[in-house]
């Protein structure tokens, strides 16, 4: 496609009305799929002039199997397969496809053996580190470009006010609107510097709900004034900064939809009324995945959901399940002006993506390892106790207990190099009589919760939680948590000698935590969320 043809004025006259509608459709593509399904998608792209694809790991991956657990295949070559599929699908398309992915913490969110960066909540624990957040996002952006991806559906700028939030939680920078705004903006700038399109999500804010929109429609029952002071703050600033797109979540927000209990993604009041007119956003609006049950289960006929979202103001229909029926419904019911407005915005975004700098011209801010070390140093946070108590504790004869599935236990091993001690390990489900093995009255505990999401106590069994409570009552316990700090809400916080949030179980984070326990460094982070213990 020539630069001349990329200009809207040329494309406007050459694409048919149906092709223009097709440019708004972004079905899912799976990195690990059958040849039969790949061919089927190629034909769909060719026949209906699909505008883009959103890549997922597989049909049984976490983003797609919310209806029930399925076995997720492991493919160490997923990245190479992704690159091959992008090239193959591009060849099937009459016009270049916009290739998107969720890479909130790097391509590792979807692809094996790729660089993983800390979760947003980990970054949120670093006070006044906008530049480091920028460097993380730039590094992720470079990874995306080298893989052939144009559009990263990030940053998440939901303000997480609900500790039981089943779908945001660790994906949020925290509960402080100012911090989320600053770090969301820094993340956007980092992606932009790498030539990657961004998307502020999930408008108008998915943080203060305990309902998973994959399964049902969450209700945000707040006044407009409350929304302006909290949920909307990051979106308003990112719009001011020029963010490429806004992803609308499947949320009922009556204060913005004239009192209606309808999903934001199909609400004219919220998209065309509030987002476009009141907040002044004139960029691309993309839907959250249209396969999610909050919206997908409520339609009267196939293709209706695509029409309702499109008619409400959605420019890009992400993870649409009904391409053919959706296009035909929009062609039948949509005005030429509506179609043209959507097409122009999508085409301008596509032009921007295709004219971005090549991946080989990009310079990384630092090596991945160096960046991880710095992030570990800045995020380690005090939850309970103080450095002085820790200093006294490590002078005593101690034993260690690692709970969870960490095989290497770099935390204990790094401590052992300087301060020899005995330690034990058990899974997150079965104590296996570990309490009888521990003889010391002073216990260093390393907790590795199996899950980042709060379901089923973050993957910790009742017997394990009982064991932790028992040990806290019998001994002086210092706890380091390598995972979602919200797990601490299931523990007797006031019974611990001290508690420290490490957030990640990366080797660099474990080594940094070991240095902290040994008194070689101090904790610099600040917990970005409030923990209310049992």
Residues 484, 252, 246, 32, Cα dihedral to 10°: 60
Q: What is the mean pLDDT of residues 201-221?
A: 86
pLDDT at 12: 74
State whether residue 321 is helix, strand or coil. Answer: coil
Neighbours of 5 (CB within 10 A): 11
Contact 103, 56 (CB under 8 A): no
Domains of the chain (ranges, CATH numbers): 16-358 (3.20.20.300), 373-526 (3.40.50.1700)
pLDDT at 10: 78
pLDDT at 99: 98
pLDDT at 64: 57
Tens-digit pLDDT profile for residues 33-72: 999 999 999 999 999 999 999 999 998 865 555 555 667 7
pTM of the model: 0.95
Tens-digit pLDDT profile for residues 326-354: 999 999 999 999 999 999 999 999 999 98
Question: CA 514: distance to chain centroid?
Answer: 28
pLDDT score of 297 more than 90: no
pLDDT score of 527 more than 70: yes
Tens-digit pLDDT profile for residues 271-285: 999 999 999 999 999
* Percentage, residues of the chain above pLDDT 90: 82
pLDDT at 70: 66
pLDDT score of 2 more than 70: no
Tens-digit pLDDT profile for residues 374-411: 999 999 999 999 999 899 999 999 999 999 976 678 99
Neighbours of 414 (CB within 10 A): 19
CA angle 322, 219, 283 (to 5 degrees): 55
Q: What is the mean pLDDT of residues 264-271?
A: 97
Tens-digit pLDDT profile for residues 108-151: 999 999 999 999 999 999 999 999 999 999 999 999 999 999 99
pLDDT score of 236 more than 70: yes
Confidence of residue 293 (pLDDT cuts 50, 70, 90): confident
CA 461/CA 438 separation, integer angstroms: 20
pLDDT at 60: 80
What b/e string do you get for 294-319 counting C-beta neighbours within 10 Å, with b at 16 or more?
bbbeeeeeebbbbbbbbbbbbbbbbb
Q: Which has more confidence, 443 or 295? A: 443
Tens-digit pLDDT profile for residues 482-521: 999 999 999 999 999 999 999 999 999 999 999 999 999 9
SS (H, E, C) 102-171: CCECEHHHCCCCCCCCCCHHHHHCCCCCHHHHHHHHHHHHHHHHHHCCCEECCCECCCCCCCCCCCCHHH
pLDDT at 166: 82
Can you tell me which residue has the tokens 């160490």?
76
pLDDT score of 8 more than 70: no
CA 302/CA 296 separation, integer angstroms: 10
pLDDT score of 209 more than 90: no
pLDDT at 67: 53
Rg (CA), the chain: 24
pLDDT at 73: 80
pLDDT at 432: 84
Among 376, 379, 373, 371, CA closest to 138: 371
pLDDT at 447: 97
Question: 42: burial class by Cβ within 10 Å (0-12, 13-18, 19+)?
Answer: middle
Q: Which has more confidence, 132 or 296? A: 132
DSSP 290-304: TTSHHHHTS-SSTTH
pLDDT score of 194 more than 70: yes
What b/e string do you get for 114-139 counting C-beta neighbours within 10 Å, with b at 16 or more?
bbbbbbbbbbbbbeebbebbbbbbbb
CA 85/CA 308 separation, integer angstroms: 31
- How many Å from the N-terminal Cα to the C-terminal Cα in the chain? 60
């Amino acid at each position: 496609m020539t630069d001349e043809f990329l200009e809207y004025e040329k494309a406007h006259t050459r694409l048919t009305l149906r092709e223009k509608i097709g440019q708004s459709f972004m079905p899912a593509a799976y990195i690990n799929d059958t040849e039969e399904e790949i061919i089927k998608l190629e034909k769909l792209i060719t026949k209906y002039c699909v505008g883009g694809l959103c890549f997922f790991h597989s049909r049984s991956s976490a983003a797609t199997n919310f209806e029930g657990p399925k076995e997720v295949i492991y493919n160490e070559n997923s990245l190479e397969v992704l690159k091959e599929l992008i090239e193959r699908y591009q060849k099937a398309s009459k016009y270049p496809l916009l290739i998107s992915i969720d890479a909130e913490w790097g391509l590792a969110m979807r692809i094996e053996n790729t660089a993983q960066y800390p979760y947003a909540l980990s970054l949120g624990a670093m006070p006044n580190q906008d530049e480091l957040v920028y460097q993380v996002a730039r590094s992720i952006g470079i990874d995306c470009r080298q893989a052939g991806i144009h559009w990263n559906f990030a940053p998440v700028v939901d303000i997480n006010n609900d500790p039981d939030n089943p779908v945001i939680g660790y994906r949020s920078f925290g509960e402080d609107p100012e911090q989320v705004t600053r770090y969301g903006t820094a993340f956007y700038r980092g992606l932009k510097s790498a030539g990657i399109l961004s998307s502020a999500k999930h408008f108008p804010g998915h943080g203060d709900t305990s309902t998973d929109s994959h399964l049902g429609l969450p209700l945000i029952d707040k006044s407009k004034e409350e929304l302006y002071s909290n949920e909307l703050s990051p979106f308003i600033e990112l719009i001011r900064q020029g963010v490429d797109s806004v992803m609308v979540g499947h949320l009922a927000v009556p204060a913005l939809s004239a009192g209606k209990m309808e999903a934001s993604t199909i609400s004219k009041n919220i998209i065309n009324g509030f987002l476009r007119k009141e907040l002044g956003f004139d960029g691309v609006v993309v839907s959250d995945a249209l396969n999610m049950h909050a919206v997908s289960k409520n339609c009267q006929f196939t293709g209706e959901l695509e029409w309702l979202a499109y008619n409400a103001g959605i420019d890009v229909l992400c993870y649409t399940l009904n391409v053919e029926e959706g296009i035909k419904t929009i062609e039948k019911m949509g005005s030429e002006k509506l179609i043209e407005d959507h097409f122009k915005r999508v085409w301008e975004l596509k032009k921007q993506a295709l004219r971005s700098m090549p991946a080989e011209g990009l310079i990384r801010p630092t090596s991945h390892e160096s960046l991880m070390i710095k992030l570990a140093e800045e995020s380690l946070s005090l939850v309970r106790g103080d450095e002085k108590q820790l200093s006294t504790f490590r002078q005593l004869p101690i034993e260690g207990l690692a709970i969870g599935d960490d095989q290497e236990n770099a935390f204990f091993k790094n401590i052992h190099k300087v301060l020899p001690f005995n330690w034990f390990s058990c899974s997150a489900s079965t104590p296996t009589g570990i309490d009888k093995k521990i003889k010391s009255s002073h216990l260093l505990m390393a907790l590795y919760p199996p899950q980042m999401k709060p379901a089923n106590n973050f993957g910790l069994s009742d017997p394990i939680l009982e064991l932790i409570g028992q040990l806290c009552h019998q001994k002086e316990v210092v706890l380091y948590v390598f995972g979602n700090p919200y797990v601490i809400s299931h523990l007797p916080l006031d019974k611990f000698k001290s508690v420290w949030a490490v957030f990640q179980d990366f080797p660099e984070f474990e080594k940094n935590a070991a240095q902290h326990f040994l008194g070689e460094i101090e904790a610099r982070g600040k917990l970005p969320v409030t923990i209310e213990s049992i």
